[in-house]
């Protein structure tokens, strides 16, 4: 009977493991998890396998009875936006999927944002200033808001969560989780909603 040899751990194996542990420790200790994992997920978005659907949900009336606050403390009633197509994204700087989909949302914003199509980027960060500074650092063009009294209809328990409301004030699309919104289909979807 031959005795099985125990696998030997080489010096190279120990070095490789040490490097991996150090990399993960640096990511963790610097608080860069959202950025690093967001970039990895961003690469997945570029493949097109996670493009946002434009299939409308069964429509329900959107509850726009909430207040938006911007970084300057200015308050705006969401109900004042009725009659416009509204793209709402609930997100946070600590959320890797949110970080991943932001560049695509910014590109979509720059293509379609107008008097008739409004983007409400609602941060779930404890500090709106942190979200504002992050958006500024990334050179995104949209404004960010807090909405402390957000109706239950928009509280999915997931970030990111995205909602589209048509000009009649109906919620026509709900998406929880990551998606690529910078597609021709989604661009046309928003434009068609704003010109019924």
**Rg (Cα) of the chain, in Å, rounded?**
21
Sign of CA dihedral 20, 23, 26, 29: negative
Average pLDDT over every residue of 112-127: 97
Q: What is the dihedral of CA 110, 164, 55, 180, to 10 degrees?
A: 40
Answer yes or no: is pLDDT of 76 > 70. yes
Residue 11 inside a domain? The answer is: no
Residue 160 to residue 90: CA distance in whole angstroms: 5
Model's pTM, two decimal places?
A: 0.83
pLDDT, tens digit (0-9, with 9 covering 90-100), for 14-63: 777 777 777 666 666 666 677 777 776 777 777 888 899 998 888 899 99
Q: What is the tens place of the pLDDT at every residue in 139-162?
A: 999 999 999 999 999 999 999 999
Q: Is residue 22 part of a domain?
A: no
pLDDT at position 61:
96
Domain coverage including residue 131: 60-194
DSSP letter for each residue of 87-109: EEEEE-TT-HHHHHHHHHHHHHH
- 100 phi and psi, to 5 degrees? -65, -40
Q: How many domains does the chain have?
A: 1
Contact call for residues 87 and 117 (beta carbons, < 8 A): yes
Torsion, CA 20, CA 24, CA 26, CA 32, rounded to 10: 140
CATH code of 108's domain: 3.40.30.10
Phi and psi at 54, nearest 5°, equal: -110, 10
- Asked if the model's pLDDT at residue 1 lies above 60, the reply is no
177 inside domain: yes
Give CA–CA dist 46/48, Å, rounded.
5
Q: Decide: 119 and 81 in contact? Cβ < 8 Å.
A: no
Q: Is 3 part of a structural domain of the chain?
A: no
Kindly state whether residue 159 falls inside one of the protein's structural domains: yes
State mean pLDDT over 116-137. 97
In a domain, 38, yes or no: no
pLDDT number for residue 25: 67
3-state SS, residue 180? strand
Instruction: For residue 52, tell me if it sits in a domain.
Output: no
Tell me if 28 is assigned to some domain: no
For residue 146, give the DSSP letter: B
Dump pLDDT digits (tens) for 85-115. Answer: 999 999 999 999 999 999 999 999 999 999 9
């Amino acid at each position: 009977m031959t005795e099985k040899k125990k696998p030997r751990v080489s010096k190279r194996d120990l070095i490789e493991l040490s490097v991996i542990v150090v990399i993960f420790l640096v990511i963790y200790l610097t608080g860069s998890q959202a950025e690093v994992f967001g970039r990895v997920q961003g690469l997945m978005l570029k493949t097109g396998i996670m493009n946002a659907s434009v299939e409308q949900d069964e429509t329900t009336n959107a509850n726009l009875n909430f207040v938006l606050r911007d970084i300057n403390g200015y308050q705006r009633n969401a109900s004042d936006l009725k009659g416009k197509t509204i793209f709402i994204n609930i997100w946070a700087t600590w959320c890797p999927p949110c970080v991943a989909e932001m560049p695509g949302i910014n590109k979509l914003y720059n293509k379609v944002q107008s008097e008739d199509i409004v983007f409400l980027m609602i941060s779930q960060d404890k500090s709106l200033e942190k979200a504002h500074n992050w958006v500024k650092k990334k050179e995104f063009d949209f404004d960010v808001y807090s909405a402390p009294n957000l109706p239950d209809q928009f509280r999915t328990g997931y970030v990111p969560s995205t909602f589209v409301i048509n000009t009649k004030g109906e919620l026509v699309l709900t998406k929880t989780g990551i998606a690529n919104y910078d597609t021709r289909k989604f661009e046309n979807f928003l434009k068609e909603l704003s010109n019924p």
